[in-house]
């Protein structure tokens, strides 16, 4: 950076304008770790209720490590990016086994833990342990890119930026400096229109001075893979057919079997072939994940003369199928869109 960000101005702004979040109250290593993982890919306001509930249910590493993975996933339901949760649980177990239940206070052991990468290790070390590590998340990157009026960004600049930030990070308040940068990105140097007029570092900002700030970073068109699917809720003998993902995205979560929408007519033909089969169309739902959008048309298929629960599809490489009693549905983790469909279906049963 040709001109440096003024840590003094930034911290003065932070002291007056910082947003208070529950994870900012005591800054214990455990709470910093949990909040940093929850905040990845998720806005702070959505994280607040999850964080509060999590700390109530799992107040420390030992409590988290001693739970079953499915129970922990159920607590995470709705936050998305479920691998974060699986890794938290695995890391808690590893901390109990390898570090006597204490989250390490140095870089190498921290990043050896599942789900803790460079960013999270730096955040924990600076915020919880007061060590002068800078962090670079999307907010910080956007501020620096605008501050230096850099139109194109690449990975090498990430490294360079961290080195530059570590030259100016105040050793007496490294965590506050990092949090101030993140909050500046959330509240002032925002993704849409930066509020340069009230920015504490605006006087030295090249993006502001040159009028380029609003054009940085350049918008990239995201390609969304859209698919229409029918979610088939087979209900028979007080049970619903679900399948548990064995690996990959949604690993361990319970999903409603889906089929391509084109297959729907074949399924509807069952109506004609088997007496006692009824189908009810439920509310269409959108399921967004990474760069995908599944447009789900749920169909509840009930039977009063045939026991479908004798017919369980064979497990395959990806899925394990199981008929689940209605009263057990709430114990199984599912993506929130599937939970909404299940809850709607229950209203008809
Ligand atoms: S002056 Fe504007 S562009 Fe520069 S850091 Fe502040 S808000 Fe961002």
Q: Give the model confidence (pLDDT) of 65-95 as tens digits.
A: 999 999 999 999 999 999 999 999 999 999 9
Q: Is the CB of 194 under 6 A from ligand 1?
A: yes
- How many of the other CB atoms lie within 10 Å of CB of 229? 19
The ligand 1 atom nearest the CA atom of 201: 6
Residue 271 has pLDDT above 70, yes or no: no
* Active site (annotated) includes residue 164: no
Mean pLDDT for the stretch of residues 278-298: 92
Choice between 261 and 313, residue whose per-residue pLDDT is larger: 313
294-306 residues labelled b (16+ CB within 10 A) or e (exposed) = bebbbbbbbbeee
Name every residue whose Cβ is closer than 8 Å to that of residue 302 and which is 6 or more positions away in sequence: 235, 236, 277, 278, 279, 280, 348, 349
CA 123 to chain centre: 17
Selecting among 36, 77, 164, 179, the annotated active-site residue is 36
Give me the mean pLDDT over the 199-205 stretch: 95
Using DSSP, state whether 254 is helix, strand or coil.
strand
Task: Give the pLDDT of residue 331.
Answer: 92
Residue 59 scores a pLDDT above 80 = yes
Strand 225-236 versus strand 258-260 pairing type? antiparallel
The stretch 333-349 carries a mean pLDDT of 94
- E strands, the chain, are 225-236, 239-245, 254-255, 258-260, 277-281, 285-289, 292-303, 319-325
* pLDDT over 70 (residue 266): no
Determine the pLDDT at residue 237. Answer: 85
Is residue 185 in contact with ligand 1, taking CB distance under 6 Å?
Answer: no
Distance CA 259, CA 109 (A): 44
Is residue 262 scored above 70 in pLDDT? no
Higher pLDDT, residue 237 or 209: 209
Closest of 8, 339, 1, 61 to residue 200, by C-alpha: 8
Q: 97 C-alpha vs ligand 1 centroid, how far in Å?
A: 45
> Residue 232 corresponds to which tokens in the numbers above?
């088939």
Inter-residue contact 307 to 241 (CB < 8 Å) = no
Q: Which whole number is the average pLDDT over 276-284?
A: 86
Banded model confidence at residue 308, pLDDT cuts 50, 70, 90: confident
User: Measured on CA atoms in the order 68, 69, 74, 76, is the torsion positive or negative?
Assistant: positive
Tell me, what's the pLDDT at 273? 56
- Classify strands 292-303 and 277-281 as parallel, antiparallel or unpaired: antiparallel
User: What's the rounded mean pLDDT across residues 106-132?
Assistant: 97
Residues 90 and 251: beta-carbon distance below 8 Å: no
1 has a pLDDT exceeding 70: no
Residue from 140, 206, 207 whose mutation best tests the ligand 1 pocket (most atoms within 8 A of CB): 207
Among 287, 280, 267, 283, CA closest to 227: 287
Is 65 close to ligand 1, i.e. is its CB under 6 Å away? no
Indicate if the pLDDT at residue 242 is higher than 90.
yes
**More confident of the two residues 35 and 218:** 35
CA–centroid distance, residue 212 to ligand 1 (Å): 10
Domains and CATH numbers, the chain: 7-215 (1.10.340.30), 225-346 (3.90.79.10)
Q: Whose CA is nearest to atom 2 of ligand 1?
A: 196
Q: What percent of the chain has pLDDT over 70?
A: 94
How confident is the model over 157-168, as pLDDT tens digits? 999 999 999 999
What does the pLDDT look like over 19-56, one tens digit per residue? Answer: 999 999 889 999 999 999 999 989 899 999 999 999 99
Residue 208 beta carbon below 6 angstroms from any ligand 1 atom: yes
pTM over 0.95: no
- What separation, in Å, do the N-terminal and C-terminal C-alpha atoms of the chain show? 63
């Amino acid at each position: 950076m040709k001109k440096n960000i003024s840590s003094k101005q930034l911290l003065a702004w932070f002291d007056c304008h910082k947003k208070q979040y529950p994870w900012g109250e005591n800054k214990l290593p455990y709470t910093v770790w949990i909040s940093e993982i929850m905040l990845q890919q998720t806005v702070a306001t959505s994280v607040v209720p999850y964080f509060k509930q999590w700390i109530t249910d799992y107040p420390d590493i030992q409590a988290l490590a001693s739970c079953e993975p499915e129970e922990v996933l159920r607590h995470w339901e709705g936050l998305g990016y479920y691998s974060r949760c699986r890794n938290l649980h695995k890391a808690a177990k590893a901390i109990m086994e390898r570090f006597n239940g204490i989250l390490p206070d140095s870089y190498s052991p921290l990043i050896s833990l599942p789900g803790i990468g460079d960013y999270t290790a730096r955040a924990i070390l600076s915020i919880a342990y007061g060590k002068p590590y800078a962090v670079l998340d999307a907010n910080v990157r956007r501020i620096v890119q605008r501050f230096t009026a850099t139109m194109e960004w690449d990975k090498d600049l990430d490294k360079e930026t961290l080195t530059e930030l570590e030259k100016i990070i105040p050793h007496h308040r490294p965590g506050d400096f990092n949090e101030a940068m993140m909050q500046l990105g959330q509240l002032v140097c925002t993704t849409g229109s930066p509020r340069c007029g009230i920015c504490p570092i605006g006087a030295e900002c090249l993006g502001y001075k040159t009028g380029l700030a609003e054009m940085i970073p350049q918008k990239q068109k995201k390609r969304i893979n859209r698919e229409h699917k029918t979610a088939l809720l087979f209900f028979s003998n007080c049970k619903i057919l679900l399948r548990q993902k064995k690996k990959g995205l949604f690993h361990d979560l319970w999903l409603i079997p889906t089929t391509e929408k084109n297959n729907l007519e074949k399924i509807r033909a069952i109506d004609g072939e088997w007496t006692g089969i009824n189908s009810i169309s439920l509310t269409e739902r959108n399921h967004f994940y990474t760069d995908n959008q599944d447009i789900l048309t749920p169909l509840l298929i009930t039977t009063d003369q045939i026991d479908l629960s004798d017919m369980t599809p064979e497990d395959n490489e990806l899925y394990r199928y199981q008929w689940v009693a209605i009263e057990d549905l709430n114990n199984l983790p599912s993506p929130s869109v599937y939970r909404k469909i299940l809850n709607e279906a229950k209203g008809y049963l």
